[in-house]
Amino acid sequence: MDIEIVEIILDFLGGVVGALIAILVFVLGERASWKKENHRIKDLEHYLYHTLNDFVNPINKQISALELFIKDLAIETDIAYRPELITSLNSDNITWISHTDRYRIFVTRRKKRHYSFSRS
CA-to-CA dists, residue 90 to 32, 52, 62, 94, 116, angstroms? 35, 10, 14, 9, 20
In a domain, 24, yes or no: yes
User: Looking at the 3D structure of the chain, how many domains does it have?
Assistant: 1
- pLDDT (0 to 100) of residue 74: 80
Q: Answer for the pair 117, 56: CB distance below 8 angstroms, yes or no.
A: yes
In a domain, 29, yes or no: yes
CA distance 64 to 36: 43
In a domain, 67, yes or no: no
- pLDDT (0 to 100) of residue 104: 86
In a domain, 46, yes or no: yes
In a domain, 66, yes or no: no
In a domain, 71, yes or no: no
Confirm whether pTM is higher than 0.75: no
pLDDT 10s digits, 13-64: 999 999 999 999 999 999 999 999 989 999 998 998 888 888 888 888 888 8
In a domain, 62, yes or no: no
